[in-house]
Structure formats: C-alpha cells, structure tokens
Amino acid sequence: MTMNGSMRELNGSTGQDKASERAFYDSLFRTRRRFDQFQDSIYRRMARLAREGATGTQALDLGCGSGSQAVCLADEGFHVVAADLSIEGVRVAAATVQQGGRTASLMNADAEHIPLRDASVDACTCGLLLHHFNDLGAVAEELRRIVKPGGVVVALDANAHNPPTWMFLNVLHRMKRNPRLTPNQRALRTSEIRAAFGAHGFADFHFESVTSQLRKDWLGDSLGARLNYYTRATVLALSNALPQISRGNMLLSVFRRQPA
C-alpha cells in the first residue's frame, strides 16, 4: 500500500471551495476516525455496478472517505486506487483497507486534478462526491481524461428530485448553514449530471433513486442526534408515495465514457 501526500491545487476558477471542504473533513476524521454514513449494502451495490460495467480491473474510488467503498471494490476483484481531498480521511481509509485484509493505493488528491495517467481507469466510483461541487464541469473533464473509453462511472449523491432532500440542502442550508454540513453541499438533479458529463464525452446514463437511511451512530448518540435519525426515517417513509426518481434521498448515477 502506498500513500501519496502531494496535492495539486487548481489555479483560477474551480467548482469547489477546497479549503472549507478539506478543513471540515480533516476535523471530522480527526475527531471521529472511521465512520460510515450508510449501511454496507450501498457500498457493495456500487462496487457490483462498477464490476458489471467495467471490462478491466483498474478502479478509482474518488472521495474515498473512510475506505469502505475501496474494500468493496477490492472484493470485486479490482486493483484499487482510493483518493480523497482530506489527508485525515486518507489515513483512516488506509487503516480500513489494511484492517479488512485488502490492498489499495491511497492518495491525497483533488478530484479536479487527479495524479493518474490518461485513460488509466476502467471504473470510477464517486460516493457522495459530486454534490460537493458548485459546478461539475472541471471534475467531469478530469474524469473524461482518466477513464478509459468504455469505462464506467458510478456515483451516489443527494437527490434533488426528493422534495425533503431538496428543501433541506438547497433551500434551508442556503438560508442558514447547517454546521454538520460543508458550505458546498447541495442536492443534484439528473439533468445537471447528464448535461455536465454528457458535454465531456459520457453517455448511456442510468439514474435511479435510492433510500439510504443514515446509520444511527452517524451523528453521535445525543438526544438531538437520535431525534434527527428518526425524523429522517419518517420523512423518507412518506416519500415512498412519490414517483421512483423522487422516492429516495440519494441519486444513483451510472454512465459510460464514450470513444474519442
């Protein structure tokens, strides 16, 4: 296992406030160490979709967080590179991979400037990554560079088609910042993902909503955290009456890099 501590920063315009993102997650990982927001079934499903869509064995877990997705990708037979903007997150992910008896290359990297060769990745997972960008153009352009023609991207993000999720992230969080979120977080629509990645050589888009309840211990064990958990569970249950793309709080996206 290797860890690359170098960071290539963007010069000029960017789709992300990297300083606030890095500070938030460095603090969170330093305090909480390993934590996983969702149940393991979500990570396993994304890994299976990556395996089904890829013809090769080179996978990138971009925005790897605690490392659970990287372990699932390794279980599917991939040679995994796991990258995160947070150096503390990379350290936790390295420990998670090692404790799971798997191997992966770890790097501290910016999703808009990834230190990998052109066309070197058969599959890329982006778990809870894209919705941290105000503009998806630069990250879409970078994924076009590193994903091989025919390669697959599997992404999971907050779902703007789900009314409670849209209200919470795109309205209330904009009116008054929630300290448990980064300033950049928002919910995404299929149209934005299709437009951004379609303009950079991706096609064969598939979207579906996923109801992904947070783990009970995600926010801690205080009374407020428990009330937050059960309130979310109730709201998501009510969303089951909506059309499929609007039911879940998460938007699962799968799309493929087209030949040049």
Strand spans (E) along 120-210: 121-127, 147-158, 202-210
For 71, the domain range is: 3-257
CATH code where residue 180 lies: 3.40.50.150
pLDDT reported for residue 168: 87
Nearest to 70 by CA among 54, 53, 82, 79: 82
> Could you give the number of structural domains in the chain?
1
Mean pLDDT, each 10-residue run in order, the chain (260 residues) = 39 70 90 74 95 97 95 98 96 94 96 96 97 95 98 97 91 88 93 98 96 61 63 67 81 94
Beta-sheet pairing, 147-158 with 250-257: antiparallel
SS3 per-residue string spanning 90-108: HHHHHHHHHHCCCCCEEEE
Report the distance separating Cα 106 and Cα 72, nearest Å: 15
pLDDT reported for residue 2: 41
Report the distance separating Cα 193 and Cα 130, nearest Å: 9
The pTM of this model reads 0.86
